[in-house]
Amino acid sequence: MNNNEAKFILSAYRPNGTDAGDATFGGALAQARLDPALSAWFEQEQKFDRVMTARLGAVAPPAGLREAILAGARVSNIPAPSRAWWRQTTWMAAAAGLVFLLTTGSLLFWPVRADAHALARFALHDTRDDEARHHGRGADNIALQAALQNPSCRLHEGVPVDFARLASTGCRTLHFAGREVLEVCFQRNGAWFHCYIVRKDDFAPVGAVPEFAAENGLCCATWTSADHIFVVVGSAGMSALQHLL
């Protein structure tokens, strides 16, 4: 079982622990315990599911909705003088039901933004799992890679990113908390770095001033630009990372 297969299975795991003893999820849960990146993804998915469950549980149907629907069903069987459609009980009941569905639907699909700090942990784990890979496929990806490798480029001052074009022309694309994450690898002074990019609107952003973290020999910097959040990870040390910014 690979991580994509495990994610497919775990996406159906209920956040209240009801499925803990279900053998269907056993293998995927075991893999999540062993794989930090998968574990971080699963934690975010469960957090999202808990928020959605709480929101839906707090929604009460409009007062009298059941009675209105039943009354509409009874009236529909009794011949009556023709009335404007918007004044008929059945239509009023249907409209009330539609309002309820729209209300719950808006809660269900209202974007709950993931945490940029969780994204940084995900980037650290992803780099640690395969630090030797160096992605650079696709013309747009290679152009961005060249810009990042330019010694005069200060990443914090702004990096031109066309997210949609990069995603569609060969840039490595991952998914974290249901959102797309692009990764571009680049080299400075003989050291490799991994740059992870997400849309700012998809995550609860950090500030414009870079925040630094270190874990298992890797260092990362996270910051928000006008439209994107960047996480840059490397193993060359904190001073080398700070020099990029």
User: What are the C-alpha distances in Å from 139 to residues 130, 145, 146, 170, 182?
Assistant: 23, 10, 11, 8, 15
Instruction: Look up residue 22 and give its two tokens.
Output: 């279900």
Is residue 79 predicted with pLDDT exceeding 70? no
Characterize the bridge pairing of strands 203-204 and 114-115: parallel
Residue with tokens 């959605």: 52
Q: pLDDT band at residue 97, thresholds of 50, 70 and 90?
A: low
The model's pTM is 0.55
Torsion angle in degrees (nearest 10) through CA of 138, 143, 145, 151: 170
Q: Please state, rounded to an integer, the average pLDDT across all residues of the chain.
A: 78
Cα 151 from Cα 235, distance rounded (Å): 18
Q: What is the pLDDT of residue 20?
A: 81
Please tell me the number of Cα atoms within 13 Å of 53 on its side-chain side.
10
Angle between helix 36-57 and 26-34 (nearest 10): 120
Average of per-residue pLDDT across 155-174: 82
Q: Domain residue spans in the chain? A: 3-57, 65-109, 114-244
Phi, psi torsion values for 162, nearest 5 degrees: -105, 95
Instruction: Look up residue 172 and give its two tokens.
Output: 């490595």
Q: What is the pLDDT of residue 88?
A: 57
Cα Rg of the chain (Å, integer): 25
Phi, psi torsion values for 174, nearest 5 degrees: -115, 175
Q: Pick the residue with more confidence: 114 or 48?
A: 48
Q: What is the pLDDT of residue 110?
A: 45
Q: What is the pLDDT of residue 75?
A: 59
Please tell me the number of Cα atoms within 13 Å of 197 on its side-chain side.
27
